[in-house]
């Protein structure tokens, strides 16, 4: 059983009361928690958040969908101006960044110039999807357009910028598949 110092116990009691007052569908949000555009979030049933999480949402449309029983560690930062979907039972470690948006376009025929200040570049958004039963390690960055399939594990300090198929273990920057779960043997085997 977790043992808290008296000050942490009092802080957690205060956070629990605030959770039940302002985020009734959530399990427990440790404050401080910053959310811009709260009306753009849907789901989040039994969501647990660590301290200093920050959600920057559109505010006009449902741009962040969080499934049931998800847990996010301290300092998780989500930017959802287009659409981010997080499945059920997703575990996200601390200091992770998930964004469907970037300042500018850097591939294709029309690209932004490095001489243009980043804040002056047009925002470019592409949806992000994270499946069910996904475990995302510490310091992971998930960029616009990424899709992470059900049952995946994303190793600490990885950068996801593409599609990771179901039941894969991916690591690195950019994230590459190292193992896949073999249903027949019920073991993780090396990707070839």
Known catalytic residues are 103
Cα diameter, the chain: 59
- Is 61 buried (19+), middle (13-18) or exposed (0-12) by CB count in 10 A? middle
Angle at 113 between CA 142 and CA 80, to 5 degrees: 30
Q: In whole angstroms, give the CA distance from residue 69 to residue 22.
A: 18
Q: In whole angstroms, give the CA distance from residue 27 to residue 44.
A: 9
Strand partners, 168: 180
Ramachandran region, residue 10 (left: φ > 0; alpha: ψ -120 to 50; beta: rest): alpha
């Amino acid at each position: 059983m977790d043992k808290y110092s008296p000050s942490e116990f009092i802080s957690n009691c205060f956070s629990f009361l605030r959770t039940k007052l302002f985020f009734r569908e959530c399990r427990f949000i440790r404050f401080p928690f910053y959310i811009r555009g709260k009306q753009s979030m849907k789901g989040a049933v039994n969501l647990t958040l660590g301290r200093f999480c920050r959600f920057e949402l559109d505010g006009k449309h449902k741009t962040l969908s969080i499934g049931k029983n998800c847990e996010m560690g301290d300092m998780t930062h989500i930017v959802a101006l287009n659409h981010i979907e997080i499945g059920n039972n997703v575990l996200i470690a601390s200091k992770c960044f998930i964004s469907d948006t970037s300042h500018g376009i850097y591939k294709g025929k029309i690209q932004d110039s490095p001489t243009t200040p980043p804040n002056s570049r047009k925002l470019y958004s592409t949806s992000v999807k994270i499946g069910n039963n996904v475990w995302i390690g510490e310091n992971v960055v998930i960029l616009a357009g990424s899709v992470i399939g059900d049952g995946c594990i994303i190793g600490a300090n990885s950068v996801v910028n593409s599609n990771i198929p179901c039941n894969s273990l991916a690591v690195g920057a950019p994230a590459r598949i190292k193992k896949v779960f073999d249903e027949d043997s019920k073991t993780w085997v090396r990707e070839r």
